[in-house]
């Protein structure tokens, strides 16, 4: 058994409506441990832990503390070992799986990351592991409790079956085939999501004259009243390109998401708008709340140690906008400092309140 790609970080975060107003502060100490073990020729065991200690103003609200311990998998692998108004210590496993690999077959059972998405922000094909684009401090992304069977036809083509269950015993099961045609990767998939929707879709990725093009689409049809209900279609397309600036390169990315699901912000859906404020928040949830979404991102290595990135997003249904800025500096071997700023706003007349919020984060991270 050995460890790999582990780290510990200390991050101070603050939130305010206006930068000149009072700020609410929180401190997070985050440690990640990854374990790997090969007990036999064809057998592998993987386990990864997130250990986080929280201090700050938000802990006086019990729903924040409960949220840290919430586990959406069929197995509850998240615990608050310390839980009071002054501090919360949460320990969770987001990877815990056993794998059997032989010849062209791979079988994996347990908590694992299953990423069928091809675009960067909105992923219609990502049935198993939706996540928030805004959560920059969780680069590994969440896992799900699943059985995964993969058959590799050749070096560029494979087919797989995945069956997953969540804490409410809702089943998501789907088949995917991935291949390559004339330098373009493609995939097609179909299945059932959360026991109540039939889903079918696909994706593609390829390069044309130095521009990397990506896209995903999916159609969702409710199973209840199958022939009398109306499904919805969603598609995301994006592109990225490296622009040479002297001896360095600037990476530019853009992405657009569209869907024809009835907006939550129609007048006859006002109760659903209010329900949204009691639901979990993720980029995928945001996508179906807005018919059109678009995002642009740029990143640039200013020096060997200093890197800069910025992003902006517009969400049509919310009449909302997001802006983000990241400055990262390498302090030496395995030690990095980052400053991150995020701004959110919306101006929709049907929402119970307009949101204008600034977030600031300062993080020191050591990898080992």
Q: Mean pLDDT throughout 14-36?
A: 91
Strands 232-245 and 78-83: unpaired
CA distance 170 to 153: 31
Q: Mean pLDDT throughout 181-202?
A: 95
Provide the pLDDT for residue 225. Answer: 81
pLDDT tier for residue 274 given thresholds of 50, 70 and 90 = very low
CA distance 213 to 49: 35
CA distance 162 to 248: 41
Counting the structural domains of the chain, the total is 1
- Those residues with Cβ within 8 angstroms of residue 161's Cβ, 6 or more apart along the chain or in another chain: 148, 149, 173, 174, 175
CA distance 48 to 45: 10
Kindly report the length of the chain.
368
The percent of residues in the chain predicted with pLDDT above 90, rounded, is 71
Q: Which residues pair with 79 in a beta bridge?
A: 91
Query: Residue 278's Cα: distance from chain center in Å?
Result: 20
**Residue 230: which region, alpha, beta or left (left: phi > 0; alpha: psi -120 to 50)?**
beta
Q: Mean pLDDT throughout 24-48?
A: 95
pLDDT digits (tens, 9 = 90+) for 206-254: 999 999 999 999 999 999 888 877 889 999 999 999 999 888 999 999 9
pLDDT digits (tens, 9 = 90+) for 110-168: 999 999 999 999 999 999 977 788 999 999 999 999 999 999 999 999 999 999 999 99
Structural domain that includes position 198:
2-367
Query: Is residue 207 within 8 Å of 183, Cβ to Cβ?
Result: yes
Provide the pLDDT for residue 262. Answer: 66
Q: Token digits for 127? A: 């049935």
DSSP 223-250: STTTTTS--EEEEEEEEEEEEEETTEEE
CA distance 186 to 179: 5
Q: Which residues pair with 166 in a beta bridge?
A: 73
CATH number assigned to the domain comprising residue 162: 2.40.160.10
pLDDT digits (tens, 9 = 90+) for 306-358: 999 999 999 887 788 999 999 999 999 899 999 999 999 887 665 555 678 99
Q: Which residues pair with 193 in a beta bridge?
A: 197
* C-alpha gyration radius of the chain: 22
Strands 211-222 and 232-245: antiparallel
Number of H helices, E strands in the chain: 3, 20
């Amino acid at each position: 058994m050995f460890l790999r790609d582990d780290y510990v970080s200390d991050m101070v975060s603050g939130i305010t409506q206006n930068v000149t107003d009072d700020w609410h502060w929180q401190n997070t100490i985050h440690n990640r441990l990854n374990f790997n073990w090969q007990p036999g020729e064809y057998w592998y065991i993987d386990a990864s832990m997130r250990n986080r200690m929280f201090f700050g103003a938000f802990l006086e609200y019990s729903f924040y503390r409960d949220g840290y311990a919430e586990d959406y998998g069929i197995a509850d692998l998240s615990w608050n070992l310390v839980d009071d108004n002054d501090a919360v210590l949460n320990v969770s496993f987001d990877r815990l799986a056993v794998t059997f690999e032989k010849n062209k077959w791979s079988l994996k059972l347990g908590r694992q990351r299953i990423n069928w998405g091809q675009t960067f922000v909105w992923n219609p094909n990502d049935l198993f592991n939706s996540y928030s684009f805004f959560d920059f401090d969780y680069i590994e992304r969440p896992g799900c409790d699943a059985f995964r069977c993969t058959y590799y036809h050749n070096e560029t083509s494979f087919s797989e079956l995945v069956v997953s269950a969540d804490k409410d015993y809702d089943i998501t099961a789907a088949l995917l085939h991935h291949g390559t045609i004339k330098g373009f990767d493609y995939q097609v998939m179909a299945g059932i999501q959360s026991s109540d929707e039939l889903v079918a879709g696909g994706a593609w990725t390829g390069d044309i004259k130095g521009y990397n093009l990506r896209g995903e689409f999916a159609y969702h049809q409710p199973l209840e009243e199958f022939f009398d209900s109306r499904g919805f279609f969603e598609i995301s397309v994006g592109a990225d390109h490296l622009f040479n600036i002297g001896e360095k390169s600037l990476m530019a990315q853009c992405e657009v998401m569209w869907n024809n699901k009835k907006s939550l912000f129609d007048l006859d859906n006002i109760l659903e708008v209010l329900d949204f404020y009691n639901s979990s928040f993720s980029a995928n949830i945001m996508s179906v709340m807005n018919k059109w979404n678009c995002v642009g991102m740029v990143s640039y290595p200013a020096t060997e140690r200093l890197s800069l990135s910025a992003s902006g997003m517009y969400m049509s249904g919310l009449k909302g906008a997001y802006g983000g800025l990241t400055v990262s500096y390498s302090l030496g071997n395995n030690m990095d400092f980052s400053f991150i700023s995020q701004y959110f706003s919306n101006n929709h007349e049907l929402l119970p309140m307009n949101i204008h919020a600034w977030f600031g984060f300062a993080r020191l991270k050591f990898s080992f």
